[in-house]
């Protein structure tokens, strides 16, 4: 009898169902590392019948594959919530707090509401709901993987819109991340309104 060495990406959801939870939301964020733009979180509740093929941590997927899976998740999910915290608020409360706030917002935007949360990372969010923080959860839990894809695609689309407003910084290509070309553009042109003024690589040029 063959045993698969692949981890069960439904394991955390099954454990929660065994504790009589039914609306289990995976929660993840995108955009902690960039020098510009918002941090975006998503919360996703999937049905048991969700077609899992190809779903994994969004960072392991090509942009084309993420777009494709974004539509699959949108079509099948029981609920999707999104939370966005802009660069001004990131500068005001710091990126960790802004990430946790955007996660909380995404959970609050779920309809139907969840009864249990699976959070990517080591920090829990401000919520009375039962929750589990899972290190590398975006690779280990199907719901968190789905949330990572929704968050990443949503944020990338926002950055493409910002590119129309601030074309000097090529946000359509770098999505605000500190690429060599992006850092050079900041050095040459200073920063724009969506740059994170407290981040190293930006604050030196204000």
The pLDDT value given to residue 150: 98
The pLDDT value given to residue 52: 83
Instruction: List, edge to edge, every strand of the sheet that includes 24-30.
Output: 79-85, 39-45, 24-30, 116-120, 131-134
Is there a contact between 140 and 6 (Cβ–Cβ < 8 Å)? no
Tell how many helices (H) and how many strands (E) occur in the chain.
Answer: 8, 5
How big is the chain, counted in residues?
206
The pLDDT value given to residue 5: 58
Which domains, and CATH codes, for the chain?
A: 11-155 (3.30.420.10)
pTM for this model (two decimals): 0.96
The pLDDT value given to residue 147: 98
The whole-angstrom separation of Cα 23 and Cα 94 is 31
The pLDDT value given to residue 7: 81
Rounded average pLDDT per 10-residue block, the chain, 206 residues = 67 98 98 98 96 89 96 97 98 98 98 98 98 97 98 98 98 98 98 98 95
């Amino acid at each position: 009898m063959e045993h698969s060495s692949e981890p069960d990406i439904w394991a955390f959801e099954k454990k929660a169902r065994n504790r009589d939870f039914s609306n289990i939301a995976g929660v993840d964020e995108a955009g902690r590392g960039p020098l510009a733009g918002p941090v975006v979180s998503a919360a996703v509740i999937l049905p048991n019948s969700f077609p899992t093929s190809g779903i994994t941590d969004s960072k392991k997927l090509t942009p084309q594959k993420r777009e494709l899976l974004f539509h699959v998740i949108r079509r099948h999910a029981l609920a999707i919530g999104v939370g966005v915290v802009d660069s001004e608020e990131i500068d005001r409360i710091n990126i960790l707090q802004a990430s946790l706030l955007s996660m909380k917002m995404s959970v609050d935007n779920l309809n139907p509401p969840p009864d249990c949360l699976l959070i990517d990372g080591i920090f829990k969010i401000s919520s009375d709901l039962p929750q589990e923080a899972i290190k590398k959860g975006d690779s280990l839990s199907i719901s968190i993987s789905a949330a990572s894809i929704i968050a990443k695609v949503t944020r990338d689309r926002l950055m493409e819109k910002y590119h129309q407003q601030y074309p000097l910084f090529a946000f359509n290509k770098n999505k605000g991340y500190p690429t060599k070309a992006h850092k050079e553009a900041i050095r040459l042109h200073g920063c724009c309104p969506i740059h994170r003024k407290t981040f190293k690589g930006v604050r030196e040029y204000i």
